[in-house]
Each structure stands twice: as C-alpha cells, then as structure tokens.
Amino acid sequence: MTASSWRATWRRSWSKLSHSVSTSKTSRNPIEAVRQIVGHAKRLAALEFELRTLGLRSKATRIGVAAVFALLALLLLPLVLVFALATVAAALATVFSVWLSILIVTGILLLLIALLLGTAVILVRKALKGGSGGK
C-alpha cells in the first residue's frame, strides 16, 4: 500500500472513532462504549505505526541506493587516477621519448609518496614525544 492509501484508511478510522463517540446513546452500556473507543484507538495507533514504518522503509531504500552509487564512484576513483597519470605520461611523450616520460611520472609519484610518508613519520614522532597539547 502507498502512503496516501494508509492516510485515507487512517482518516476513515479517525472519522469512525469520532462519529461513534459523538453519536453514542446515553442508554448504552458505558463499559461497552469505552471498549469500543479503546479498540478504535488501538487500530488508529496500529495504522499510524504502519504509516511511519512505510515511510522509514522508503527512506532507507533511497539511502541504500545512494550508498551503492557512492561506493561505485569510490571504486572508480583509482581507475581515474591511473588514467590521469597515463595522460600526463602521454603528454610528456610528445616532448620526450616514451620511456623518459614514464620515468618522469614515476619519479614524481615516488617524490609524492616520500613526502607523505615523511610527514606521517614526523606527526607520529610528535604525538609519541609527548604532546596532547596541539604544539
């Protein structure tokens, strides 16, 4: 069922509840009237719960689909990096020979890796040396 059909059912139940409360005869058994009101209230609460559950299920499905797309994008990121590096090598190959352009790109990557590892070592040493104060 869709959310609109649940809302329509909810409105009908609410209408029945308010109608039965407003049109109850004074000569009826009050205990029976209270039981009927409690029954309507329970049904109303159950319908409200089902409506909320349906809404949350729909939202969870949309979030799950979005997470799948984000994961696919994350998996394609290394491929984009490889193609970008190949593009740089191909651009350098127009000026230098192919082996030299690939060597230049490799050297740049090795320098970047060395810089990142050096920064990591410095940060770990500072953290182990003593400081929880951000100096």
Handedness of CA 14, 18, 21, 25 (dihedral sign): negative
Question: Which pLDDT score, from 0 to 100, does residue 20 have?
Answer: 55
Question: Which pLDDT score, from 0 to 100, does residue 29 have?
Answer: 85
Whether 80 shows a pLDDT value over 60: the answer reads yes
Any domain includes 18: yes
Report how far residue 38's alpha carbon sits from residue 17's, in angstroms, rounded to the nearest whole number. Answer: 10
Any domain includes 29: yes
Any domain includes 8: yes
58-77 pLDDT, tens per residue?
888 889 999 999 999 999 99
Amino acid identity of residue 42, one-letter, is K
State the average pLDDT over residues 123-134.
79
Q: What is the pTM of this model?
A: 0.50
Q: How far is CA 130 from the centre of its chain?
A: 38
Question: Which pLDDT score, from 0 to 100, does residue 91 have?
Answer: 95
The set of residues, in sequence order, having a beta carbon less than 8 Å from that of 54 and lying 6+ positions away, is 1, 3, 6
Enclosing domain of residue 36: 3-76
Question: Which pLDDT score, from 0 to 100, does residue 73 have?
Answer: 94
Whether 12 shows a pLDDT value over 90: the answer reads no
Any domain includes 58: yes
Whether 7 shows a pLDDT value over 80: the answer reads no
Short-list 91, 87, 69, CA closest to 79? 87
37-59 pLDDT, tens per residue?
999 999 999 999 998 988 888 88
Any domain includes 123: no
Total number of domains in the chain = 1
The dihedrals phi and psi of 36, each to the nearest 5 degrees, come to: -65, -40
